[in-house]
Each structure stands twice: as C-alpha cells, then as structure tokens.
Structure 1
Amino acid sequence: MSHARQHRGGHRPLRRFRVREAGRPSFPRVRALAHRAAGTPVLPLLLVCLITVIDLVGGTSLVWLPMLAAGPALAAATCGWRGVAGVGLLAALLSVVLGGRDGVTGGNLVAVLTVLASVTLASSLAGAVRARREQVLAAVRSVAETAQHALLQPPPATVGPFQVAVHYSAAAAEARIGGDLYALIPTPYGVRLIVGDVRGKGLQAVETAVLVLGVFREAAYDEPDLLAVVGRIERSLARNLDDDDFVTAVVAGYPEPGRLELVNCGHAPPLLLQGSDVMEVESTRPAPPLGLRALAGEAPGLQVLPFGDGDQLLLYTDGVTEARDADREFYPLAEGFARHPYDDPTRTVAALHEELLTHVGGRLHDDAALLLLRKPAVASAAPEPKAGEAGPAVPAAEPGSGGLDGVGERRHAA
C-alpha cells in the first residue's frame, strides 16, 4: 500500500455535463455464435489455404508442402485438440493432392506426411493442455469472485436514508480480489460504514481485510459509540498483525438526521459535495493507521459535520488518487467528482471509474475502491405556485449546513 496523495485546495466549482450512456441489447444467439467463432481455427485455415494457392501458382510443391505443418501448429494456440486435428487432416489431404499433381516421389511425400502427423499430434496435446489450464483458471476466477462477494458484499442501492454506489477494481485482474475493503450496514445506531486499505497485497492482505471487516460488522451492531467501534478494530489488529503491518481506514456513522460522524485513521480524506462545492474533509487531528496506535501513542478523534439533503460523501482508496497517466500525473479525483454531480450515485461512480481507466490507459496497477453516499432530497408536497403568485416562504438554512463551519471533534480516551 502506498501513502495517499494529499490534495490541495478546498473548494472547487462544479462543472456539469452529460454522461453518455450507451445501452447494448442482449442477443443470446449472437453471443453463442461469437463464442463458437472464437474457437474456430480461422487463421490456421487461412494459412493452409494461402500455402495451397502459392503452391498451385508456383508449382514447387516439394518446397511448400512442409509449410502446411504451420497450420496445426498455429491452431494449438486457439483451439482444442479437435480443431488441431481437423486442420492437420486438411493439411494432410492437401499434401497428397498437391504432391500427386506436381509429381512428388513417394518417399518425399511420406516424409511430408510424417512431419504433418508429428506436428499435428504434438499440437493436439498442447491444445488439450491449454484448454485444461483455461478450465482451471476459469474455476479459480469463479472461486475468487465468490470470495470477493462474501468479503466485499455489494450494498443495496438504498441503505437507510442513503443512496449508495460502490465500485471495486483489483490490480490482479486474474484474482479479482485485493487488499482494499469496504462495508456499509444499517445498525441500531444508524448507518455505519468503513473504507480501508491494507498495507501490501496478496493473500496476507486479503486475510487482514477479512479480519477488519469481520470485527467492524460485529462491533458496529454492538457499540453505540463510533470511537468504540474503531477501538475494537484496533485491539483486534494489535493482536493479529505484525509490527510493520497496518490498515488505513475511514469509519463513518450517521446516528441522527443531519449529523455525520467520521473517524479517519491515516486514510485519504473523503470528498464532500455540499451545494456547489467539493471539499476535502481533512482531519483536524490526524490519527495513525489501525494497528499502529501503540507505536504512535495517538488516539483517533471523532469529527462531526453536517450532512443534509442532496449532500454526497465520496470515500476511496489511494489506488484511485495515485493512479498516474503516461506523463506521471495523478488522477484528479476531486475535479472528476465535481464534473459528475449526478442525482444517481451509480452514474457518478461509473463515470469516475471510466475517467480513471482512461487516465491510466486502461489498466490499474493498484487496488482501487470508490464508495459514494448520497442523502436524497425530500420531495416537497406543496404545489408549485402559478405564474404571478408568490410561492411559500423558504425557511432559513441551519448554521453550518452549507459547508464545514462548526465542525466539532472529540478525542477518544487513551
């Protein structure tokens, strides 16, 4: 895990534009034909036909006939043993026809057929081994997807009073799982969530993520205080992690309407959209990552900020903000968030992920997670005033509802 890049500048104006959504209909028959065509030895057959045409034009079959063995050899890269055998059989028949047409002696023709048979047999075995490995890889991917679904359970579109959208991308595409973590659950104390990043990668990072999420899901239901939830996670990691391992995380809670609580443990600052501004929620008293409190001697603090109708909170991991383009420039997440302030969180997250992939050239080199929380505005039941009539009086906004003014914080007892 690399350290999160610190953004600079608090308020950025929003720029609105439309996101193109191209819906593609599903055609099962077309997909089935495409799947079959993918296993058809088109290129090997074209190669065999090309060699045949050259031989017919040049009339030097003894020179070109051995080249027909390239057909079954190439088929091994795309087909199973049946496809390789079919291409090899076609090459052998053409060898006999062309050899008889050009007067190739029996001994030379037998040598050519022997070469074709040997290459076809070896290529068939290679194709069978390749197909078997593809089946094993598909099974491993299926298990990884199941494990990811169990570890990172996709939240529903609506949790409590919030609209929710999540996107997770593992750097190891074959494994489809990594060290980033997230969870969002309703509890007796309001909706609570966590977004974190485990130091390192591989199975050890996944094991740590499993531990953190398990403790969080249990403590979030039991502990009325959000700092107590963080304390439970800290004590569990202190018992199970090595000295140089840790987890950066943001733990948030919504205990009552209009009140959002945050505990940031060494993680990248969340982005808050309120009105027309995107702001970084920097912790006033930074705390060390989870698992390092004993070494640092610093306890996390509880940060409270207003969160009303229409507000959005974006949490992420450093795989997003530290993604670089060809010029080694970081992806500007805050600016991207400002460009996509949609009412549908799924649309916003999809647009951000598409921009991120475009920025890096199509492939991420670190795990990346995005979690967007939106408090939908309550629709007014009062009818709209007619032309020329005065509308209903608009109540004054509560202090601090338009930004981070009046943010409070309290410290957890050491």
Structure 2
Amino acid sequence: MSHAPRQGRDHWRIRRYRRRTEHAASPRTRALAHLAAGTPALSLLIICVIVLVDLAGGTGKVWLPLLATAPALAAATSGPRGVLGVGFFAALLGAAIGVRHGVPASALTVVLAALVAVALAGTLASALRARRERVLAAVRSVAETAQHALLAPLPGTVGPFQVAVHYSAAAAEARIGGDLYALIPTPHGVRLIVGDVRGKGLPAVGTAALVLGVFREAAHDEPDLLDVVCRIERSLARNLGADDFVTAVVAGYPEPGRLEVVNCGHAPPLLVRGCDVTAVDPVRPAPPLGLRALSGETPSLQVLAFDEGDQLLLYTDGVTEARDEDREFYPLAEGLARHLCDEPARTLAALHEELLTHVGGRLHDDAALLLLRKPAAVPGAADARSVRSAAR
C-alpha cells in the first residue's frame, strides 16, 4: 500500500533542504543556507519584474499597486517571516519608485499603506495555513497508524504462497476505507478474507475492524471454514444496523492442492491456471454477511484444485466498477492476463497502474487487490529438508 502525504509541498522542500544543511561547515554557512531555503523566490522575482518594467519606462503611479501581489503570493507558499520580509522589501522599493517619479506624498502613502496591509494579512493567512497543515499532518499520521493496525502489510511469503496486496482508499486524506483483507497462517492451514463494507471512507472503518477482528480469532479456532463465516455473521448481526452489510470471500488452504472458497455476495475471485483466467462463480449464491436473517440462505463451501503455478486474485468492486471517461468498466480479467507474471507484486503494480490510467488518475471508490500464487517446488528442496530432518 502506497500513500504519500501532500501537505505543504514548499514547506516540505524547505525542511528537507534544511536537514541537508545541518552539517554545513560554519554557522555563517548554515545561516545563509537556511535563509536561502526559506526565501520565497517567486515573490521576489515578481517584485524584480515590476521594478524592471518601471525602469524601462513605466510611470511609477501605475505600477506601484502591483507590488502587493508579491506578499499575497508569498502567503500561499511561505511562512510568516517570509511574507513579512517580502512585504518589507516591496514597501522599500515602492517608496523608492514613488520618490523617483515624484508621486504626491498623499497618494504614495495610500499605496504603501495598502501594501503593508496586504503584507500583514498575508502573514496572518500564512500562519493559519501552517497551523492547518500541522493539524492535517497529525490527522494523517493517526490514520496511517490505524491503517497499519487494521490492514497490516503482508509479507511476500505466507505459508506455501507468494502474496501481494494493493489497497487504495477513496478518502484520500484519510488513507483508509471500507475495503478489508487479511491473510494468516493457522493450525488449519492458510486462511484469508477480502471484503467490502457498505459505504466508503471513515464511516466504514469500524465495521471493517469488527470483521477482521472476528475473522482472525475464528480462523484460528474453527477447523471448518463455514464455521468461521458463521461466527462473522453472528457478530455482524448483533452489531450492524438494518441497512448495513459486508460482501466478502473467505478462503482456506487446509491441505496441499485443496483450496476452499466461501463467497458471501462478493465479486467472484479470478483463478489463473497456466495462461487461462477464469472467474470462480459461486455454485450456490449466498447473501452478504449481515443479511442472512433476511434471506434465510446459508453460504456453501466450494472446493477447487490449487496446484503449483496456480494463482488466485481476490478484489473489491472498486476495481471492477472503475469507469473511464466513456463510462466503460475496467476489464480486470483481461488486464490480469496482460500483466501476469511469476511475481505477484509486479503483477499487482502493473494492474494498479493500468487501473489509474483507465480512470484518469484517481479512483472514486475504495479498491483492494490480493494476489495469491503457489510457486513451483524448487528441485532438490524436498530432499534437502529430508536430510536436515534425518540429521536432527
């Protein structure tokens, strides 16, 4: 999962530059470096352009008011001290231009007063902006911590499988949403879940946390995969509202070559065998988790052969329902066939890049992709393990 904060780009560059100058040769060098890093260059450039235009033949009275654009721009890109510095510099040059062109004292005073007022207002706006950026950074940090606690990053290998996951939240500032996934080794084999809570963004996070918490407990306790699903269902029935539900696929690998799948109203996983990509449609459709009491239907266990080289892609509807500018859905099966390789991480990276290109750069719903691959056994590895076991 990849998310990088985007608050205060100019401040971030300044902080990074200042970190690089901490070991400068002398205090004077450090002071000059810090001053250069905090200088609002574009605002100063505007002042210089206005002065050059005036020197080239303008009338000072015409160009003087334009000096106020410099501190106004500095307020959007620099700190309060930078804005004050730009305002002071602009006022000095404005006074010099006014005197040079013989602007009446009353008119020059009005222009300079307006320039000072803009600089002071810009200083206040810059301080407020910096405060909001600090608050946003703190909120995003908390959201990232919650995301890592709820959707812990998966290792590249879990049990006998190669694993890769990619998650994108629609609530970009929150960086966490209603899609959920987990993959854990248990005494009953590797078990996993991919689901989608009704809704998106922060309101769905509590439900996702509930589902994952129950799944992680039940996956260890229950030998039967259907009992795992039943425990999640009972918990949701007690805690969800009447209109809330969770679609999910729960899968398990209890023994070599045997993959168990329970689909509760979710998009069918894609099974890759050789070069063929096929959807694993449920034999008997079941309602989403939390709605069993309304329909009376129970989920069924579907058993698949899953051998060396096979792959299984689980995903949420934020992927398949992503539309381009012509309102066409993203063809996930075709995309998977195009980018398929023996490294799940590379496959998902290429899929996600193509998905973003399809939608024009930004997803409008939470989207999760989890790819599972059973690698071929390395020749001689079994013999080596046998030798080590005999030696012990």
Give the structure-2-normalised TM-score. Answer: 0.87
Q: Which residue of 2 aligns with 1:44?
A: 43
Q: Which residue of 2 aligns with 1:371?
A: 370
Answer whether contact 2:270 2:280 (CA < 8 A) is retained. yes
Any gaps of 5 or more consecutive residues in structure 1? 1-28, 383-414
Question: What's the offset of the Cα at 1:109?
Answer: 2.4
What are the Cα deviations for residues 208-228 of structure 1, in whole angstroms up to 9, with x where unaligned? Answer: 001000000000000000000
Question: What's the offset of the Cα at 1:40?
Answer: 4.5
Cα distance in 1 for partners of 2:157, 2:329 equals 32
What are the Cα deviations for residues 113-170 of structure 1, in whole angstroms up to 9, with x where unaligned? Answer: 2111111001100011001101111111111011000010111111000010000000
Kindly indicate whether residue 358 of structure 2 is the aligned counterpart of residue 359 of structure 1: yes
Letter in 2 for 1:32: R
The 1:78/1:31 distance shift into structure 2, 3 A limit, reads: closer
Q: Which residue of 1 aligns with 2:77?
A: 78
Q: Which residue of 2 aligns with 1:32?
A: 16
Cα distance in 2 for partners of 1:139, 1:252 equals 37
Q: Secondary structure at the match of 2:238?
A: helix
Q: Alpha carbon RMSD of aligned pairs, Å?
A: 2.0
Q: Secondary structure at the match of 1:77?
A: helix
Letter in 1 for 2:144: E
Question: What's the offset of the Cα at 1:57?
Answer: 1.7
The 1:147/1:70 distance shift into structure 2, 3 A limit, reads: same
Cα distance in 1 for partners of 2:15, 2:162 equals 34
Kindly indicate whether residue 277 of structure 2 is the aligned counterpart of residue 278 of structure 1: yes
How many aligned residue pairs are there? 355
Cα distance in 1 for partners of 2:101, 2:70 equals 21
Q: Which residue of 2 aligns with 1:97?
A: 96
Question: What's the offset of the Cα at 1:58?
Answer: 2.5
Question: What's the offset of the Cα at 1:202?
Answer: 3.5
Answer whether contact 1:80 1:127 (CA < 8 A) is retained. yes
Answer whether contact 1:183 1:193 (CA < 8 A) is retained. yes
Q: Which residue of 2 aligns with 1:189?
A: 188
Q: Which residue of 2 aligns with 1:67?
A: 66
Kindly indicate whether residue 261 of structure 2 is the aligned counterpart of residue 262 of structure 1: yes
Cα distance in 2 for partners of 1:47, 1:204 equals 46
What are the Cα deviations for residues 93-121 of structure 1, in whole angstroms up to 9, with x where unaligned? Answer: 11122122212233322222211111100
What are the Cα deviations for residues 369-390 of structure 1, in whole angstroms up to 9, with x where unaligned? Answer: 00000111012239xxxxxxxx
Cα distance in 2 for partners of 1:59, 1:312 equals 72
Question: Higher helix fraction: Structure 1 or Structure 2?
Answer: 2
Any gaps of 5 or more consecutive residues in structure 2? 1-12, 20-33, 382-392
Task: State the identity as a percent.
Answer: 76
Kindly indicate whether residue 256 of structure 2 is the aligned counterpart of residue 237 of structure 1: no
Answer whether contact 2:14 2:38 (CA < 8 A) is retained. no
What are the Cα deviations for residues 314-365 of structure 1, in whole angstroms up to 9, with x where unaligned? Answer: 0000000000001111001100110122111110110100000000000000
Q: Which residue of 2 aligns with 1:219?
A: 218
Letter in 2 for 1:129: L
Q: Secondary structure at the match of 1:262?
A: strand
Answer whether contact 2:181 2:195 (CA < 8 A) is retained. yes
Give the structure-1-normalised TM-score. Answer: 0.83
Cα distance in 1 for partners of 2:357, 2:15 equals 27
Cα distance in 2 for partners of 1:104, 1:144 equals 57
Show the 5 A alignment for 1:196-215: 196-215=195-214
Q: Secondary structure at the match of 1:301?
A: coil
Report which stretch shifted further, 100-109 or 162-171: 100-109
